[in-house]
Amino acid sequence: GASGVLAVKKAIVTRRSPTAPGGGTVAFVSPWAHDYVGNLHEREEAGTPNILADIRAALAFAVKDAVGHEEIAAREAALDARAMAAWADVPGLELLGINAHHRLPTYSFLIRDDAGGHLHHQDVTRMLSDHFGIQARGGCVCAGPFGHRLLGISEGESCAMRDAILHGDDSGKPGWVRLSLHYAMEDATVDAILAGVRELALNWRELVEGYEALEMQEA
């Protein structure tokens, strides 16, 4: 993968020691003293630089610059419109946080079951992968507190979930499915993703049986 990019105002960085001390972060070391380098980005990048990942990150920005901001914005708006049109009449598909006016084509969603709840998000990601070749992420996307608010989880419900997880049962761990449509995707790829999500939301009953059997075997 590519390196991550952190944009930070130097004025707010007050610590003089690196977050993760290691090779390349020190200006001098002796048995009696050590001094860290003054350059912020060198101090925060311990170890051997990941040159290939840095090149990939640079190429990503090069593609962005070549396409242009206006073209990207127009493409993303068109992708979002296509997704909304493809999923609008699917009653079992619950899109989360979809009310933002200027949103990216990144979607968090749940699929309703027949008992008034939802299919487990990890089961949904497995079915998307196995049946449609779609790679999506399942979980709370590193936003547990926000997930509580998004899903309306009370403190009592949260305590019960936590207790179950600490005792080895994470089946009730809250989360959702997230996937994105990228501006560089071909139309055929976008169509396949939209159709796959739609098909799963409409016909999950026919697909979930094998997963129920697999869970019983694992148990």
| Residues in a beta bridge with 29 | 34
Q: What ranges do the domains of the chain cover? A: 10-64, 68-140+175-218
Q: What is the pLDDT of residues 170-206, one digit of tens each?
A: 888 889 999 999 999 999 999 999 999 999 999 999 9
Tokens 């560089």 label which residue?
A: 184
Please determine, for residue 89, whether its predicted confidence score (pLDDT) is greater than 80: yes
How far apart are alpha carbons 129 and 110 in whole angstroms?
16
Report residue 208's pLDDT band, with 50, 70 and 90 as the boundaries. Answer: confident
| Residues in a beta bridge with 180 | 106
Q: Rg (Cα) of the chain, in Å, rounded? A: 23
How far apart are alpha carbons 71 and 66 in whole angstroms?
10
Q: What is the pLDDT of residue 198?
A: 98
Q: What is the pLDDT of residues 144-163, one digit of tens each?
A: 999 999 999 999 999 999 99
Helix (H/G/I), strand (E/B), else coil: 13: coil
Helix (H/G/I), strand (E/B), else coil: 178: strand
Alpha-carbon separation of residue 82 from 78, 87, 170, 192 (angstroms): 6, 9, 35, 12
- Decide if 3 contacts 56 (C-beta within 8 A): yes
Q: What is the pLDDT of residue 215?
A: 44
How far apart are alpha carbons 112 and 114 in whole angstroms?
7
Please determine, for residue 128, whether its predicted confidence score (pLDDT) is greater than 60: yes
Please determine, for residue 213, whether its predicted confidence score (pLDDT) is greater than 60: no
> Which value, to the nearest 10 degrees, does the dihedral of the CA atoms of residues 55, 56, 61, 63 take?
120
CATH code of the domain occupying 68-140+175-218: 3.90.1150.10
Q: In sequence order, which residues have a C-beta less than 8 Å from that of residue 13 and are 6 or more positions away?
A: 40
Helix (H/G/I), strand (E/B), else coil: 95: strand
Please determine, for residue 59, whether its predicted confidence score (pLDDT) is greater than 50: yes
